[in-house]
Amino acid sequence: MSGENPNPEPHRRRPRYAGKYPRRFEEKYKELAPEKYPDTVAKVISSGKTPAGAHLPIMVREILDVLAPRPGAIMVDCTLGYGGHAREILPLLQPDGRLLGLDVDPVEQPRTEARLRALGFGPETLRIRRSNFAGLPAALAAESLAGADGILADLGVSSMQIDTPARGFSVKHPGPLDMRMNPSRGQTAAALLARLPAEALADLLRENSDEPRATPLAERLAGRTFGLTTDFAAAIRAALPDISDDERDRTVRRVFQALRIAVNEEFTALDTLLRHLPECLNPGGRVAILTFHSGEDRRVKKSFQAAMREGRYSRIADEVIRASPEECRANPRATSAKLRWAER
């Protein structure tokens, strides 16, 4: 017919409505795009929570008091993470000061570097190396530095890692049971769990998280294969039917923590760092270490005390420093933090 369009447009299906509650982690949290939703980020922080995909630095004021960064000083952030502590330290080193940042995570490190570079901190001010903190002596040597005036090690896992399901740290969202800080190296948590006998797993749970129910948990979990974090969390809960839901949730977190420490050999790396720390400091320089559970804190405390007796440190903290009640209310992840320092 003369009125018909000889080239009609092909029919396009109407976009399917995704629903009010998106299922995928990447779609669920607006704060994953902070530049697009700054009001949402501010609202999350004001409610005492950490925005998804971000990390709030812990005990910043206390760390600055301990390390006293000053113009021209050489500082090291052994656990760069999201860059929150580095961002506060860097301006205090100007002019002529430098910060060396170390991080083993190949996923988050480039993002953190891009954020800090965008704030105007160029290579002459900020150097970043892909390294575990056990590699501190080699990193200093590679930068032609004899030592540092201040060293920070924040031993907590970054919120970006915990909150991102694909990394395998989350107890809330399904993801592969991985837990590797560097996803290209070592064995996953699933592989470790599948090969461990019950006795070895029980020892691991006691050593890495002070788990009081290590033996019955190990008997139910050792040698099994779990594909997803949520499957593993459900198995932990099912292994302890006679305790409260709150205590069961705390147990899940402790077990995840113990496996994460084992997968990443965190205690081995920490022992190596502690052994070399005094010689990595310039005379009068200080180290500050943030820990988040008793196993870490015991190692730091005993190492500092031993090095003090040997004359490798001139002073160490008399008491552990904790986050203020105000900070703990604003950021619950600060509640378990302990800060210790030592001076060469």
Domains contained in the chain, CATH given: 60-159+267-343 (3.40.50.150), 182-263 (1.10.150)
Please provide residue 219's backbone torsions phi and psi, each rounded to the nearest 5 degrees: -65, -30
Percent of the chain with pLDDT strictly greater than 90: 71
Q: What is the pLDDT of residue 36?
A: 62
Record the tokens describing residue 149, joined without a space: 């005036």
Q: Provide the β-strand partners of residue 41.
A: none
pLDDT grade for 161, boundaries at 50, 70 and 90: low
- Rounded to whole angstroms, the Cα distance separating 242 from 322 reads 34
Whether the pLDDT of residue 230 is over 90: the answer is yes
Q: What is the pLDDT of residue 183?
A: 86
Average pLDDT over residues 8-26: 48
pLDDT grade for 54, boundaries at 50, 70 and 90: low
* Range name among 75-79, 207-211, 304-308 with the lowest pLDDT average: 207-211
What does the chain come to in residues? Answer: 344
248-282 pLDDT, tens digit each: 999 999 999 999 999 999 999 999 999 999 999 99
Question: What's the whole-model pTM score?
Answer: 0.79
Whether the pLDDT of residue 17 is over 50: the answer is no
Whether the pLDDT of residue 15 is over 50: the answer is no
CA distances from 344 to 73, 93, 146, 303, 310 (A): 15, 20, 14, 13, 12
Q: What is the pLDDT of residue 285?
A: 98
